[in-house]
Structure 1
Amino acid sequence: METLFWLEDSIVGMTVSSTQWGYPIVLSLHAIGMGTLVGVALMLTIRVLGFAPAIPVTSMAPYWRVALGGFFLNLLSGSALFCGNASELFFNWAFRIKIVLVLVGLALTWWLVQICVKRSDQISPAHRILAALAMVTWLSAIIFGRLIGYWS
């Protein structure tokens, strides 16, 4: 608990929790990062699931770097948001589940990029299953992120 209170009393924690513009700015950055990361991930998964077959799957490889940029923006903004309310968020089950889902979603999407995008345009049923799992994981992470404010 001492570490959690220290995070809340840090400059970042106090800026997020105690200033007029700290929380809205950091939350907006978090939304932009989420939209970038999850948008690219869903774009890839939807393509692998069969939408827009005229677009080669391998042409989506450069977007992975954009998705990683969104992830790092989310990592920084999410850490700042956590510092603003660490003593409550640490014990919030929706928060914990969201973090696990984000890590799983990132791993599944990375795996999908490695298999489908960088090697060939051939999409197997296993790739489709992987894409569906990644899509469900990302959507679940968003849902649990929204539940953070309602679960204690």
Structure 2
Amino acid sequence: MEAFLFSVIDTLQTSQLNHFVMDNAVVFPVLEMAHFLGLSMLFGALLIVDLRLIGVAKKIPINHVESFLRFALIGFAINAITGVLFVIGDPGRYLVNIAFGLKMLVIGLAGVNTLYFVKRVKPQLDNAHKVQTAGAEAAIVAWLSIVLWLSVIVLGRFIPYVETP
């Protein structure tokens, strides 16, 4: 498995996209800024929705804050694209980094939580148009979302500081 990983790293390091990302003085900083913008959109929008599901600002109908979900999707797309470019640009840093691996795991768990929200919780909210409280199940999903995405942020900040083997 280790040989395969180092083969992937070597292949990425010799790719044209790697050279574009790493050899151009502007590209990596622009990716960093875009990644931060995407993260701000993603987490900011989710925080508004999650806090409302938890019960903050109960007078605002839940369907009014759901419009923020499209900003979360846009932010996630920006982060997915820039994140892939980071990995291609510096695979030796990311692919062997435990903080990066944990971050990817937590993003996967956040995806499962989101899928559960879409399949189980959101239909219940859609059927009750004037709901003022979302219920315990929605609150659990919302708290889990907040914890998971905060964990993604913290793990992302650990990546530059974690020693790689």
The reply to whether TM is greater than 0.5 is yes
Contact 2:117 2:141 (C-alpha < 8 Å) held by counterparts: yes
Report deviation, 1:83. Answer: 0.7
List per-residue Cα deviations over 1:81-127 (Å, max 9, x = no partner): 11111122111110011111122223323433551453433411122
Q: What's 1:69 paired with?
A: 74
Letter paired with 1:22: V
CA distance in 2, matches of 1:111, 1:119: 17
Which piece of structure 1 moves more, 79-88 or 62-71? Answer: 62-71
Q: What's 2:29 paired with?
A: 24
Letter paired with 1:100: L
Q: What's 2:136 paired with?
A: 125
Report deviation, 1:53. Answer: 0.9
For 2:43, which of 38, 48, 51 is the aligned residue?
Answer: 38
Instruction: Give yes or no for the alignment of 1:147 onto 2:158.
Output: yes
CA distance in 2, matches of 1:41, 1:69: 12
CA distance in 2, matches of 1:48, 1:8: 44
Contact 1:15 1:23 (C-alpha < 8 Å) held by counterparts: no
Contact 1:40 1:63 (C-alpha < 8 Å) held by counterparts: yes
Letter paired with 1:61: E
List per-residue Cα deviations over 1:19-77 (Å, max 9, x = no partner): 21111001111111111111111111111111111111122233222211111111111
Structure 1 segments unaligned to the other structure (5+ residues): none
Structure 2 segments unaligned to the other structure (5+ residues): 1-5
Question: Percent identity over the alignment?
Answer: 26
Instruction: Give yes or no for the alignment of 1:111 onto 2:122.
Output: no
Whichever of the two has the greater Rg, that structure is 2
CA distance in 2, matches of 1:140, 1:22: 27
Report deviation, 1:18. Answer: 2.2
Instruction: Give yes or no for the alignment of 1:136 onto 2:147.
Output: yes
Query: How has the CA–CA distance of structure 1 residues 107 and 60 changed in structure 2, closer, same or farther, with 3 Å as cutoff?
Result: farther
| Aligned pairs, number | 152
| 1:73-88 map, 5 Å | 73-88=78-93
Report deviation, 1:147. Answer: 0.2
What is the TM-score normalised by the length of structure 2? Answer: 0.83
Query: How has the CA–CA distance of structure 1 residues 48 and 101 changed in structure 2, closer, same or farther, with 3 Å as cutoff?
Result: same
Letter paired with 1:87: G
Which piece of structure 1 moves more, 118-127 or 81-90? Answer: 118-127
CA distance in 2, matches of 1:80, 1:125: 39
